[in-house]
Amino acid sequence: MKLYRYLTGPDDAAFCHKVTAALNKGWRLHGSPAYAFDAASGTMRCGQAVVKEVDGLDYEPGIKLGEY
């Protein structure tokens, strides 16, 4: 089964730690990161897609992607 997640957050160390944690759990970067200004909060926001292959399981919409 192929899994996809899009990680988002403010442009800070916590976002970098979120991506680093995913990489250390076996997720791989997918594409380029995104960076945009959030006018509502007045902050910069980051986004990064990550993907992962998990053998032996079938996809179901109820899967909690963060548990992999």
Please write the tens of the pLDDT for every residue from 14-68. 999 999 999 999 999 999 999 999 999 999 999 999 999 999 989 999 999 988 9
Residue written as token pair 């976002």: 15
Instruction: Give the model's pLDDT for residue 66.
Output: 87
Do the Cβ atoms of 41 and 50 come closer than 8 Å? no
Strands (E), the chain: 2-10, 28-38, 43-53
39: left (phi over 0), alpha (psi -120 to 50) or beta: alpha
pTM, two decimal places: 0.88
Report residue 11's pLDDT band, with 50, 70 and 90 as the boundaries.
Answer: very high
